[in-house]
Amino acid sequence: MTYTVGMYLADRLAQIGLKHHFAVAGDYNLVLLDQLLLNKDMQQIYCCNELNCGFSAEGYARAHGAAAAVVTFSVGAISAMNAIGGAYAENLPVILISGSPNSNDYGSGHILHHTIGTTDYGYQLEMVRHVTCAAESITDAASAPAKIDHVIRSALRESKPVYLEIACNVSAQECVRPGPVSSLLSHPSTDTVSLNAAVDAAVTFLEKAERTAMLVGSKLRAAHALKETEALADKLGCGVAIMAAAKSFFPEDHAGFRGLYWGEVSAPGVQDLIEKADAVICVAPVFNDYSTVGWTAWPKGDKVLLAETNRVTVAGQTFEGFTLPEFLTALAKKAPARPLSAKETTYVKPEIAPAQADAKLTNDEMARQINAMLTSDTTLVAETGDSWFNAMRMHLPRGARVESEMQWGHIGWSVPSSFGNAMGSQDRQHVVMVGDGSFQLTAQEVAQMVRYELPVIIFLVNNRGYVIEIAIHDGPYNYIKNWDYAGLMEVFNAGEGHGLGLHAKTPAELEDAIKQAQANRRGPTIIECHIDRSDCTDTLVKWGKRVASANARKPQAV
Ligand code: TPU
C-alpha cells in the first residue's frame, strides 16, 4: 500500500498521543478523512458544525493535552476560526486542518465553489495567521512532512493553536514516513546563567519581605507548572490565592490555600491577603479587564514578582531563557520560608444553607446541590454568565477540575467543549453549568453526546434571559425566546438514544433529577433548572457594576 501525506499526518497525530480527532466532512477534505481513517490508533469523531468542531477539539485539548479538528475550505474553516481564536486566547494546542483547493487550481484563474468567488486562494491562510502560532499550506507531497512537523511542534511548544491546509489532491499522494516523535516534543535548552540570576533576584526579593503571598493565574496549566507551584507553596508556607480563570489549578485542601482573589468580589480575607502583602508572587496570571474587575484590582509594581510562562520579572529586572517549571523548581530549593501571611488568615470554606425541599428552586440551592455532587473525578465546565460566579463559590475536592473560558468568553462554548473534554477523559464525570442564552448558540452538539453515549450532566439554568448582560447594562436585547430545553432531548434521541431531559422547579425535584442523571450512564442528561430572572449571585452584580463603569469610561480629551 502506498504511504501518503494523509497517513503521515495521522501517524504524527497518533504519535503525540491523540486517540481521537474531530471532523465535519466537505468535498475538499473527504480524501484526507479517508486517509486519517486508515490509522487504527485514532477514532474520527463527527460534529454538527465547524464552530462546534473547533470547540470540541479545544475541550479535548484541555483534557488530553492537544487536539485536531478537520474541516472543509472556507465555509467550514472560517466558522472554525472563532473556536481557534478561543484556543489561542486560552492557550490550547489545537491543530486546525482544512482541506483546500486542488493544487492545479492555485494560480490558475479558476473560480471555485465554497470560496469568496475570487481566484486567489491565499486568503484563508492569511486570515488564520492572526489566531495561530504557525500556519502552512501544503500543495505538494515533498514539502508536507516538514510543514506538518513544523506546525505540530509549534503547537506543543507554545500551547497555541496551529493551522494546516492540504490541497484535496495531495492528501493521497505518496510521502516518506515519519521518524520518532521525540523531535517534535523536545524543548530548546535552558539558559542556566539567566535561570540562576532570576532565582537569586527572587530570593533577595523574598528575603526582604515579611508578608509574602502567592497568586495563581490561568496560564499555569498551559505552562505545565501545576505541581511545581504547589511545591513552591509548600516551601514558602505562605497564603495562596487563585485567580478566577485558574479555579482548580491549586488544590483547595492545601494548608496555604485561602481562596479566590478577584478584587472586590474576592473570597473573605483574600483581598487583604494579596493587597496588604509586601511580596506577591504572581504565577502565570492574565490581568485583563474582567480579572482586574474593571482595572480596580491589578497587583503590579515593586511588590510583585511576575513569573510568566517564559519570563520572570522581579525588582526592576527581567529574565528569560528557561521554562516556568524550571524557575519554580529552582526557586523552591532556595526560597526562604515565609509563613506569616498564612498564619494571619484562614480559609473560609464556602457553605450554603440547604433550602426547604418543596420551596421554589433558587440559584443558591442549585449551586449547593451541584457542589455536593463534585468528587475528585469531576470536571465542572462553567459557561460565561452567572455559571462563572457559581463555580467560583464552590469548594473543590482535590482532583476536581473546573474548565472556563474567561479570556475568549464565547457564550455557547461549554456544550461542544464539554463534549470534546468528555471524549478526551472518559474516566471522569463531566458536569456543565450553562445559562439558557448561551445554550441556544450550540445546543445541537448535545446530539453528539447522545450519539457517542457520553454521560455528561448539563445543568441548564433557565432564568429567561442574559442575566450577566442585565447586570452589566440592561435593555430589550437581553430577553430571549424561551425553549423547552429538557424536551430537546427527545429530539436528539430520535427514538434511538439514551439522553435524558428533566425539569427541576424545587430543591426536591433537583435532588431527584441529579440521582437520575448519575444513574444514566449511556447518554447525557439535561436538568433544566427553573430560576427567577432576578435570582443571581451577589458577586455577579457587584462585578457587573465595575465592568460596566470600565466600559463607560469617556474618550480622553485630545
Ligand atoms: O447566567 P446568565 O443568565 O447570564 O447566562 P446566559 O443566559 O447564558 O446569558 C449569557 C449572556 C451573554 C451574552 C449575550 N454573556 N455574554 N454575552 C455576549 C456574547 C455574545 N456573543 C458571543 C458569541 N459571546 C458573548 N459573550
The amino acid that residue 285 corresponds to is P
Whole-number Å distance between alpha carbons of 270 and 274? 6
**CA-proximal residue: ligand 1, atom 14 (nearest):** 466
pLDDT in tens, 62-79: 999 999 999 999 999 999
Residue 399 alpha carbon to ligand 1 centre in Å: 29
| Torsion region of 411: left, alpha or beta (phi above 0 gives left; psi -120 to 50 gives alpha) | beta
* 3-state secondary structure labels for all residues of 527-545: EEEECCCCCCCHHHHHHHH
CB atoms within 10 A of CB 317: 11
Burial 44-66 (b: 16+ CB within 10 A, else e): bbebbbbbbbbbbbbbbbbbbbb
Tell me if residue 398 falls in helix, strand or coil. Answer: coil
pLDDT at 127 (0 to 100): 98
* Matching residue, cell 502552512: 136
In angstroms, what is the span from residue 467 Cα to ligand 1's centroid? 8
pLDDT at 259: 98
- Does residue 105 contact residue 17 with C-beta atoms inside 8 Å? no
**Average pLDDT over every residue of 200-205:** 98
Q: Report the C-alpha gap between 278 and 95 in whole angstroms.
A: 43
Task: Tally Cβ neighbours within 10 Å of residue 541.
Answer: 17
What is the separation, in whole angstroms, between the first and last Cα of the chain? 70
Per-residue b or e along 464-474, where b marks 16 or more CB atoms closer than 10 Å to that residue's CB? bbbbbbbbbee
Judged against a pLDDT cut of 90, whether residue 416 lies above it is answered with yes
Whether 527 shows a pLDDT value over 90: the answer reads yes
On the question of pLDDT at 548 being above 90, the answer is no
Ligand 1 centroid – CA 353 distance (Å): 28
Residue type, 66: A
Atom of ligand 1 nearest to the CA of 471: 4
Residue 550 and residue 291: Cα distance in Å, rounded?
12
Bridge partners, residue 280, by sequence: 213, 304
Atom of ligand 1 nearest to the CA of 536: 1
Q: What is the band of 186 on the pLDDT scale with cuts at 50, 70, 90?
A: confident
Rounded Cα gap, residues 202 and 99, in angstroms: 49
Q: What residues have CB less than 8 Å from 198, skipping those under 6 apart?
A: 312, 314, 319, 322, 327
**Contact (Cβ atoms closer than 8 angstroms) between residue 148 and residue 124:** no
- Sort 492 into a burial class: Cβ within 10 Å, 0-12 / 13-18 / 19+: buried
Task: Output 187 or 415, whichever has higher pLDDT.
Answer: 415
CA 255 to chain centre: 27
Average pLDDT over residues 40-51: 98
Q: Is the pLDDT of residue 411 over 90?
A: yes
Beta carbon of 466 within 6 Å of any ligand 1 atom: yes
CB 386 less than 6 A from any atom of ligand 1? yes
Phi, psi of 29 (to 5 degrees): -120, 5
- Average pLDDT of the segment spanning 214-220: 98
Mutate to test the pocket of ligand 1, among 438, 459, 479 (most ligand atoms within 8 A of CB): 438
State the distance from the centre of ligand 1 to the C-alpha of 243, rounded, in angstroms.
21
Model pLDDT for residues 418-429, shown as the tens digit of each residue = 999 999 999 999
Ligand 1 lined by 86 (C-beta under 6 Å): no
Phi–psi pair at 96, nearest 5 degrees: -90, 125
Locate 115 and state its grid cell. 470560496
* Angle 330-403-406 from CA coordinates, rounded to 5°: 90
Length of the chain: 558
Q: Is the pLDDT of residue 188 over 90?
A: no
89 three-state secondary structure: helix
Strand duo 162-167 + 94-100: pairing: parallel
Location of C-alpha cell 499526518: 9
CA of 436 relative to ligand 1 center, distance in Å: 9
pLDDT, mean over the chain: 97
3-state helix, strand, coil in the chain (%, to 5): 40, 15, 45
Please give the Cα distance from 75 to 399 (Å, whole number): 40
